[in-house]
Amino acid sequence: MLYVDGKWVEADELSVHPEDRGYNFGDGIYEVVRIYKGNIYQWEGHLTRLIRSAREIQLELPWTAEELSTIAHELLAKNNITSDDDATLYIQVTRGIAPRVHDIPSNIRPVIMGFVRRKERPLADMKKGITAQIIEDIRWLRCDIKTLNLLGAVLVKQYAKDAGAQDSILHRNGIVTECSAANLFVVKDNELYTHPANHLILNGITRLDVIALAKSNGFTVHEEPFTVDFLKQADEVFSTGTTVEVMPIISVDGQAVGTGQIGPVVKKLQELFEENIIKTVLV
């Protein structure tokens, strides 16, 4: 069951208005949230970010944080998500329906839609690592907003796939930003490097988790820009995100990263992340 604009419907019963601005312009925002064993992981972080994204695009949410939380929990209940299930929860808010003009119509009512999908954790890839291709970051200059307008992300991911890799690592003028839908870290001499959280990246909940876990376990974390050349000399590379968790990248542009095997730092961070999930899900 999907939750759409106050109603519960099946996917094949859903119709989209031709002048919903989400449909015409990608004018809206979204979140993808992890469900581990029937429990929502890091809901507060996702909720806070959804509210921030709305504010940044001048979309006034007509729901309180509490109402949004109720919708999320009802989505799990209506879809019979139990403690046996790993899943993802998707929530989007479009600006709403109005005759098509570019500027923001007044008195427009946002449309919310949410669904749940059962989804296993990517345990095999997390063990084995994935391949990536360096691609120019062709996205806009407000990557800090989790907007529905994802054509840039769609294309860079496809360019990586066309080049035979599993994900793209993006750069702007030689500075590494992030992946198509995940944040990027490199490890050099046991220290972590990741792009600072500004308008050029989406500040991931998983990114923040990993930085906090790394710091509290004695790692130095540099939130500073670094180059593609620096990345290519790195000992380890990995991406982070709600669905990819802590994902080792073992080859970049067809060249092995470090030894070409999963490194000790990423392995340690995966263990710490796992403990964090267990701690969060069991309370």
Ligand X SMILES: *Cc1c(COP(=O)(O)O)cnc(C)c1O
Helical ranges in 84-233 per DSSP H: 123-128, 151-162, 205-216, 228-232
The answer to the question of residue 21 lying near ligand X (CB under 6 A) is no
Q: Which is nearer to ligand X, 9 or 51 (CB)?
A: 51
Could you give phi then psi for residue 150, rounded to 5 degrees? -115, 20
Instruction: Of 38, 50, 48, 110, give the one whose Cα is nearest residue 75.
Output: 38
Binding segment toward ligand X, per CB under 6 A, in 67-75, 120-128, 236-244, 256-264: 236-244
Residue 181 lies near ligand X (rule: CB under 6 A) = yes
Closest CA to 206 of 17, 46, 13, 22: 46
Interface residue with ligand X among 22, 204, 248, 263 (CB under 6 A) is 204
Nearest to 59 by CA among 33, 31, 27, 91: 27
Q: What is the identity of the amino acid at 100?
A: R
78 assigned to active site: no
- Determine if 242 is a binding residue for ligand X (CB under 6 A): yes
From the candidates 78, 127, 146, 188, give the one annotated as an active-site residue.
146
- Return the number of the residue (47 or 75) whose C-beta is nearest ligand X: 47
Q: Among 21, 95, 157, 207, which residue interacts with ligand X (rule: CB under 6 A)? A: 207
| Count of residues engaged in binding ligand X, rule: CB under 6 A | 13
Any contact of residue 28 with ligand X (CB under 6 A)?
no
DSSP-based three-state secondary structure for 171: strand
Cα dist from 66 to 33, 42, 126, whole Å: 16, 15, 34
Pick out residues in 141-160 that bind ligand X (CB under 6 A): 146
> Which residues make up the interface to ligand X (CB under 6 A)?
146, 178, 181-183, 202, 204-207, 240-242
Q: Mind telling me the catalytic residues?
A: 146
